[in-house]
Amino acid sequence: MDKKITIYINSKEYKVSPNQTIMQAADHLGFHIPRLCYHPKLSIEGACRVCIVEVEGMRNFVASCAYPVSDGMKIHTNTQELRRARRDIVELLVDNHPMDCHTCERDGNCELQRLASSMGIRARHFVGQRKQYGRDLSGQAVIRDPDKCILCGRCVRMCSEIQQVHNLTQAHRGFDTVVMPAYNMPMAESVCTACGQCINVCPTAAFLEKNYTQELFEKLNDPNLIKVAQFAPSVRAAIGEAFGLEAGHNMEGQLVAALRKLGFNYVFDTQFSADLTIMEEATEFLERIQNKGKLPMITSCSSAWMKCMEQFYPDLIENISTCKSPMSMQSALAKTFFAQKIGVDPKKIFSVAAMCCTAKKYEAARPELDVEGMRATDIVVTTREIAWMIKSAGIDFLNIEPETQDHPIGMSSGAGVIFGTTGGVMEASIRTAYELYTGQTLVDIEVESIRGLKGIKEGKVVMDGQEIRVAVAHGLGNACKLLDVVRKDPGRYHFVEIMGCPGGCVGGGGQPYAGVNSIPLDEDALMKRAEALYSIDRAKTIRRSYDNPDIQKLYKEYLQRPGSPIAHKLLHTHYKQKFPQGIIPKEALK
Amino acid sequence: MVEMAQEKMDELRTFIAACMQKEYSDSYLIAVLHKAQELFGYLPVEVMDEVAQRMNIPTAHLWGVATFYHYFNLKPIGKYVISVCLGTACYVKGATEVLEAIKRELGVEIGQTTADNLFTLHEARCLGACGIAPVIMINDKIYGELDAKKVVALINQYRKTAQVA
Amino acid sequence: MPEVHYKITLCDGTSCIRKQSKQIHQILDQELRKRNLKEVVSVHLSGCLGMCAKGPILIINPGYVMYGNITEADIPEIVESHLVHDTPVARLMVEENHLYNRFFRIFGDVDFFGKQMRITLRNCGIIDPENIDDYLSVRGYEALAKVLTDMKPEQVVSEVKKSGLRGRGGAGFPTGMKWEFTAKQPAGEKYVICNADEGDPGAFMDRSAIEGDPHTVLEGMIIGGYAVGSSRGVVYIRAEYPLAIKRLEKAIAAAREHGFLGQNILGSNFSFDIEIRLGAGAFVCGEETALIHSIEGSRGMPRPRPPFPAVSGLFGRPTLINNVETWANIPVIILDGGEWFSGIGTQGSKGTKVFALAGKVRNTGLVEVPMGTTLREIVFDIGGGIPNGRKFKAVQTGGPSGGCLPEPYLDTPIDYESLAKAGSIMGSGGMIVIDEDSCMVNIARFFIEFTQSESCGKCAPCREGTRRMLEILTRITEGKGCPEDIDKLERLGAMIKKSSLCGLGQSAPNPILSTIKNFREEYEEHVNQKKCRAGVCAAMLSYTINDNCVGCGACKRACPVNAIDGTRKEKHHIDPNKCIKCGQCYSVCKFSAVAKA
């Protein structure tokens, strides 16, 4: 235990631990110092100068996020001069920002707006030239609006330090600084994996997902279409936050009801196809084990991870499971098996997915995922978008009577639920693989060692005397670290789960924005959302994918068995190396 | 033409390989970009891509560095680069008149190249020759104590040289 | 006219004056007149020669004979024996071996140089910078040898502390203390950096020092490396200095060849080598942490401190960064002693400082004087005053980070504290003289335009705030200012100074705030009366043709917009609506017939 030191904040004495910054000490003591570029998970910039405080003996103000406390330090956090300086600094940011709050996506939920309001900016003294770069709407999933950027640098740090995709940089200098991909190329041509974490950390609307709500409203009003919906596990665990609830409320029933009220003819559940994915993937895994196929096998449900892999780890393509993601499996079935079942022309089926994920918008557009010449998933909307649609349609989401999903592709086991959190896919797979392989029941169905928010987790299961070593990584940065190990030591693991977002899908790029009292990537919120999913799992009577009666029916009636030719046709895909600008094929480098 | 570019690329590749042998190899990015500009006159996109790959540096990071430092040209430049010093001493001694005269004579703004690809106009911040202000630099040569008339005569001299060559 | 046979230099430094040098001057004058030697003997006053213990000093050339501790009584004997009979007076002669004195011996008779005290620049102009043997012949690398054979690292640090040397890059941090911090860090990989990114417009001290005497900088760095426990040196030099780079490369190669760089230097256990890294056109890279990031291959953006470079710098290792001029002083301090060095200058600012004197002054160039010399002495005595009969208006020190000091401040002594108190800074040594033909508002705008374009863009106060200040100043110079503008400039300036992340932002408002403080009437005239008294801000000028006009038509031909009308031999007329105020007519008129107001 460090010996405590004495500091003074606003003339009162406090004893605090050394080895921390003024901001950390103040936070612990309950003094809130306003801030903008600071984030506990990202490196310290000290750039915004909003968190400045006065330290006696220093001629100038210091950034409290960076300045360490020392014994005897006298700090003032709220003098008139400081308040005025902070106010002027925020005004300078506002003066170089479009004045269109009313028509902005983040109206009411924008950190700049909140800061300006809390600083009491009621007059604008320093109006001058404003930047005008125009928006980049090329991306299928993530769009950029540099005019709204206040250069906090969070997105660059997120993309480089945590996701390690390094797509973004601050370019040029001074007043002309802009955040952009290399060469200012359109996002669609860049190495962007569409993970959407930049949107999560952005304090303004400089990054947004591509919005399909208007188009969806139109389709929902089209009587000639059969509108089918699916929604990811993580959506039900987080959508409540968009309606003012704390993180971790399971709103599954309400969401099903709301989707029906919006106009969907059938409301299914991605958790069903999560179960399906387990069936196919566990079978694929066991085949590789038995026939000495390519190991370790690496999961493929994270679309951001898929793009990342095709760009940076193409040598591991053969390791990737050929299974499509649950969303794409679901949509494929909707337009084949389900269309057949209700006797409808597949072209009339309009398949919509409500996802916690932005990369799924990119995935839906991949031509390899088409079925019978049609696009499988027609529209993907994020949790944020569907929440807005529900509000916009005047649906009383919090008080609506919960409903249940439709058969035949809407029911799920507990294994399907936990797909949304890091370690969940692996745990679900183990539950089935073990029992398929050994024929025995897995007693310890919850695999603790691969749960939780540690970046890279390891575990092992002994199946009939054979030790199966597994690893789980969440966040693309951790994924890259893990895969560098796999490249060097391919025998180290048998099965690897990768989720592109920190925390897994519960932390996806499409989840509700952090509220007034929390920060993006708040670990507490992630844990609460994950816990919601684990509780749903625990509450279910059926907890293994192959116990799901609708899954059994699907195979009996249509797919025959996992890995069958028809299963391969509809539920499996292939990958190939991608060369966005800036990545040169190795042969060309010689 | 293509062979010359190939030769230059090879020279750059050798330079990069030497840097990669050193400790903290990615810190040599700026030195490599200097070399690339020395060889090509500016930083073409293909060259930047290759530098990024060979040095294991993300292209976005390289772009951030290349655009930060004003010394690096991201567009091709003319045969003669005219840098007009606008440092304090030159400013006080009439550098703006010299600059305006050049602009009028060549018909370009700062950062632009003449249509015949002969001259590119830049402004510079203090070339350190304050004693002979106002000063301009054409490629590596410094010319001092100029005025509007003298600088036009100088430009015409260069035009003549280019014609003869 | 008879030739001058002898040249006498009397030291006019403070110490010598106190010891009656003025009276000695008088007696000397009398004696020369008595013997009819006034025409063949010239007498000059020099700046402090730094030999205060032996003062009053009198030097007679040719032959460079130095007389010390002289009294009035000695003068007749000196004149009679030395000047008339060509026999120096042995008992009054003193030996003086300080390093820097060699320059004085050669150039001391030139007024401009004679009034300076060249320690940093002691070899510039005397040795061939591309020939290491020349450097060796002026005791080059002798300091290094002394350090490696006779001194422990702590002793070297102690000597530098004793000297009182402060960082010459501008911040003026006590050099010895910085060395001590770095030396204290745990042993291992450490770096020594020379900041040669001299980016202040109007400053060329570092360039000249490196071009003229690169080895002294290298020697200083090697000694620094020894003192703090580092074996790796880096010179970060701006790419716009190709000659300096070439000379540095040559010097490093020669030093290696001679065993002053590399493994086991001069047979000791100490190894040190130096690498050159180029800048690429970013003024902000003169800031320590930005410089470090630039060497690391990133955008040159500063970061908050602590941690300071001494603790965590280049590649996260303890790093000692000093400016070129600081390094150049080290060999002198080692050989002539820290105590001797601390005898020069003032209480708080020891040694000499190099200034790049430029602007509206007769003699421009590098001026190295002891701290404590006044601005007046530099501008008028050494600089020769304002040319063309114009009046002095202000002197700008410290480059774009400094302030403009008007006439009342001319007697300010040059030292860190006095200049700061006067509202400016020492900075790296830029000193621009401004006369009545310059507009202070425009000058302020010029400086903020520079700092604005060099802002790295990381922190909001500097990135956005300096742009807004520039916009306000531009409007004012275009005649579109409003009364609140001056208050806004002061408000923004004060906030930017206190809130910015690095020194660039913290000092960017200085020229504006100091000109508002010292020349407020000019601002008010611009804003309230739309008048520019210096006749510089074009938008507020009107050009008219007066009765001096002879109708030659030169202006009419020169006008780019055909705004001038008139027939030959008749008074011409400028149409104010067409006039774009380019000033061409004013410059071509040979009859002073065009008036600017």
3-state secondary structure A9-33: ECCEEEEECCCCEHHHHHHHHCCCC
- Assess whether A485 and A500 both reside in one domain: yes
The answer to whether the beta carbons of residues A564 and A284 sit under 8 Å apart is no
Which of A209, A241, A259 finishes a domain? A209
- Assess whether A273 and A194 both reside in one domain: no
Give a yes or no: residue A66 inside a domain: yes
- Assess whether A513 and A563 both reside in one domain: yes
Residue B48: the pLDDT is 95
Residue in chain A lying closest to B55 (CA): A589
- Assess whether B84 and B55 both reside in one domain: no
Give a yes or no: residue A100 inside a domain: no
- Assess whether B115 and B50 both reside in one domain: no
* Interatomic CA distance for residues C415 and C344, integer angstroms: 12
Containing structural domain, residue B127: 80-164
Q: Does C398 touch chain B (CB under 8 A)?
A: no
- Assess whether A223 and A176 both reside in one domain: no
Cβ–Cβ gap A584/B58 under 8 Å: no
Maximum CA pair distance of chain C?
Answer: 87
- Assess whether B95 and B124 both reside in one domain: yes
- Assess whether B59 and B85 both reside in one domain: no
Is residue A587 part of the annotated active site? The answer reads no
H/E run at residue B5: helix B2-20
- A450-503 per-position pLDDT tens digit: 898 999 999 988 888 889 999 999 999 999 999 999 999 999 999 999 999 999
Structure tokens at C472: 């306000």
Give a yes or no: residue B148 inside a domain: yes
> What are the backbone dihedrals phi and psi of residue A321, each rounded to the nearest 5 degrees, phi first?
-60, 140
Task: Tell which A residues from 70 to 99 touch C, by Cβ distance under 8 Å.
Answer: 81, 84-85, 88-89, 92-93, 95-96
The answer to whether the beta carbons of residues B121 and B82 sit under 8 Å apart is yes
Cβ–Cβ gap B49/A581 under 8 Å: yes
Most C CBs within 10 Å, among B35, B86, B91, B140, to test the C interface? B91
* Measured distance between the N- and C-terminal CA atoms of chain C, rounded to whole angstroms: 49
- Assess whether B54 and B85 both reside in one domain: no
Chains in contact with C, where contact means 3 or more Cβ–Cβ distances below 8 Å, are A, B
CATH number at residue A443: 3.40.50.1780
Q: What is the ipTM of this complex?
A: 0.92
- Assess whether B61 and B109 both reside in one domain: no
Task: Tell which B residues from 76 to 105 touch A, by Cβ distance under 8 Å.
Answer: none
Closest Cβ–Cβ partner in A169, A582, A584 for B64: A169
- Assess whether A151 and A236 both reside in one domain: no
Is residue A280 part of the annotated active site? The answer reads no
DSSP per position, A489-551: -TTS-SEEEEESSTTSGGG-TTSPPP-TT--TT-HHHHHHHHHHHHHHHHH-S--SGGG-HHH
**Chain C residues touching B27 at Cβ < 8 A:** 295-297, 315
Give a yes or no: residue A257 inside a domain: yes
The answer to whether the beta carbons of residues C248 and C276 sit under 8 Å apart is yes
Cβ–Cβ gap C358/B64 under 8 Å: no
Most C CBs within 10 Å, among A175, A179, A180, to test the C interface? A175
**Chain B residues touching A582 at Cβ < 8 A:** 49, 52, 59-60
Which of B22, B40, B68 finishes a domain? B68
**What is the pLDDT averaged over residues A230-237?**
96
Give a yes or no: residue B94 inside a domain: yes
* Interatomic CA distance for residues C405 and C402, integer angstroms: 10
* Interatomic CA distance for residues A113 and C464, integer angstroms: 18
Cβ–Cβ gap A168/B60 under 8 Å: yes
- Assess whether A136 and A265 both reside in one domain: no
Cβ–Cβ gap A172/B45 under 8 Å: no
Q: Does A178 touch chain B (CB under 8 A)?
A: no
* Interatomic CA distance for residues C89 and C77, integer angstroms: 8
Question: What residues pair up with C394 in beta bridges, in sequence order?
Answer: C406, C434
Cβ–Cβ gap B60/A172 under 8 Å: no
Give a yes or no: residue A95 inside a domain: no
Residue A516: the pLDDT is 78
- Assess whether B60 and B89 both reside in one domain: no
Give a yes or no: residue B73 inside a domain: no
Which of A174, A209, A244 finishes a domain? A209
H/E run at residue C432: strand C430-435
Is residue A368 part of the annotated active site? The answer reads yes
Which of A185, A209, A233 finishes a domain? A209
Q: Does B86 touch chain C (CB under 8 A)?
A: yes
Give a yes or no: residue A468 inside a domain: yes
The answer to whether the beta carbons of residues C537 and C442 sit under 8 Å apart is yes
- Give the global pTM: 0.90
Cα angle, residue A346 at apex, residues A340 and A351 outer, rounded to 5°? 110
Cα angle, residue B74 at apex, residues B151 and B34 outer, rounded to 5°? 85
**pLDDT band (50, 70, 90) for residue A188:** very high
Give a yes or no: residue B22 inside a domain: yes
Structure tokens at A42: 């990202």
Total domains present in chain B: 2
CATH number at residue A9: 3.10.20.740
Closest by Cα among C37, C12, C7 to C22: C12
The Cα of B47 is separated from the nearest Cα of chain A by a number of Å equal to 10
- Assess whether B147 and B92 both reside in one domain: yes
CA-to-CA separations, C585 to A244, B95, B96, C562, in angstroms, rounded: 72, 18, 16, 11
Structure tokens at A424: 């969940």
* Interatomic CA distance for residues C414 and C425, integer angstroms: 10
H/E run at residue C104: helix C101-107
- Assess whether B54 and B84 both reside in one domain: no
Give the strands of the sheet with A456-463, arranged side by side.
A297-298, A495-499, A466-474, A456-463
Q: Are strands A73-76 and A52-55 parallel, antiparallel or unpaired?
A: antiparallel
Give the helix ranges, DSSP H, for A170-232.
Answer: 197-201, 213-220
- Assess whether A473 and A487 both reside in one domain: yes
* Interatomic CA distance for residues A230 and A217, integer angstroms: 16
Cβ–Cβ gap C304/A174 under 8 Å: no
CATH number at residue A179: 3.30.70.20
Which 3 state secondary structure label does DSSP give A362? helix
Cβ–Cβ gap B50/A589 under 8 Å: yes
Residue C14: the pLDDT is 66
Containing structural domain, residue A159: 127-209
Which of B42, B68, B94 finishes a domain? B68
H/E run at residue C276: strand C273-278
- Assess whether A24 and A152 both reside in one domain: no
Q: Does C505 touch chain A (CB under 8 A)?
A: no
CATH number at residue B123: 3.40.30.10
Residue C155: the pLDDT is 97
Question: What residues pair up with A472 in beta bridges, in sequence order?
Answer: A457, A497
Assign residue C55 a region: left if phi > 0, alpha if psi is -120 to 50, beta otherwise?
beta
Chains in contact with A, where contact means 3 or more Cβ–Cβ distances below 8 Å, are B, C
Q: Does A574 touch chain B (CB under 8 A)?
A: no
Most C CBs within 10 Å, among B55, B92, B100, to test the C interface? B92
Q: Does A582 touch chain B (CB under 8 A)?
A: yes
Cα angle, residue C128 at apex, residues C124 and C133 outer, rounded to 5°? 115
Give a yes or no: residue A414 inside a domain: yes
Most C CBs within 10 Å, among A19, A36, A49, A52, to test the C interface? A49
Give a yes or no: residue B24 inside a domain: yes
Q: Does C294 touch chain B (CB under 8 A)?
A: yes
Chains in contact with B, where contact means 3 or more Cβ–Cβ distances below 8 Å, are A, C
Q: Which residues are CB-contacts of A153 (< 8 A; sequence separation ≥ 6)?
A: A37, A45, A47, A170, A179, C458
Closest Cβ–Cβ partner in C452, C488, C506 for A60: C506
* Interatomic CA distance for residues C352 and C335, integer angstroms: 16
Q: Which residues are CB-contacts of B17 (< 8 A; sequence separation ≥ 6)?
A: B54
Which of B39, B68, B97 finishes a domain? B68
Give a yes or no: residue B45 inside a domain: yes
- Assess whether B60 and B124 both reside in one domain: no
Total domains present in chain A: 3
Q: Does C576 touch chain A (CB under 8 A)?
A: no
Cβ–Cβ gap B128/C299 under 8 Å: no
The Cα of B58 is separated from the nearest Cα of chain A by a number of Å equal to 6
Structure tokens at C316: 């996260």
Residue in chain B lying closest to A185 (CA): B60
H/E run at residue C565: strand C564-565
CA-to-CA separations, C525 to A388, A467, C19, C312, C480, in angstroms, rounded: 57, 87, 50, 50, 12
Sequence letter at residue C222: I
- Assess whether B96 and B142 both reside in one domain: yes
Residues making up chain A, counted from first to last: 590
Give a yes or no: residue B54 inside a domain: yes
How many Cβ pairs within 8 Å bridge chains A and C? 103
Closest by Cα among C200, C32, C12, C244 to C111: C12
**What is the pLDDT averaged over residues A246-257?**
95
Each residue of C515-549: b (16+ CB within 10 Å) or e?
bbebbeebbebbbeeebbbbbbbbebbebebeeeb
- Assess whether A190 and A243 both reside in one domain: no
- Assess whether A286 and A137 both reside in one domain: no
Cβ–Cβ gap A172/B58 under 8 Å: no
Q: Does A51 touch chain C (CB under 8 A)?
A: no
Give a yes or no: residue A200 inside a domain: yes
* Interatomic CA distance for residues B112 and B122, integer angstroms: 8
* Interatomic CA distance for residues A342 and A185, integer angstroms: 46
DSSP per position, C286-330: GSHHHHHHHHTTS------SSSPTTTS-GGGS-EEEEEHHHHHHH
Give a yes or no: residue A103 inside a domain: no
Q: Does C397 touch chain B (CB under 8 A)?
A: no
The answer to whether the beta carbons of residues C44 and C9 sit under 8 Å apart is yes
H/E run at residue C397: strand C392-397
* Interatomic CA distance for residues C565 and C551, integer angstroms: 10
- Assess whether B89 and B21 both reside in one domain: no
Q: Which residues are CB-contacts of C313 (< 8 A; sequence separation ≥ 6)?
A: C191, C193, C288, C292, C319, C321
pLDDT in tens, chain C (597 residues): 557 788 888 877 666 776 677 788 888 889 999 988 888 888 877 766 667 677 788 888 877 788 988 888 999 999 999 988 889 998 998 877 777 777 777 777 777 887 888 999 999 988 999 999 999 999 999 999 999 999 999 999 999 999 999 999 988 999 999 999 999 999 999 999 999 999 998 889 999 999 999 999 999 999 999 999 999 999 999 999 999 999 999 999 999 999 999 999 999 999 999 999 999 999 999 999 999 999 999 999 999 999 999 999 999 999 999 999 999 999 999 999 999 999 899 999 999 999 999 999 999 999 999 999 999 999 998 999 999 999 999 999 999 999 999 999 999 999 999 999 998 999 989 999 999 999 999 999 999 999 999 999 999 999 999 999 999 999 999 999 999 999 999 999 999 999 999 999 999 999 999 999 999 999 999 999 999 999 889 888 888 999 999 999 888 887 777 889 999 989 999 998 888 777 778 888 888 899 887
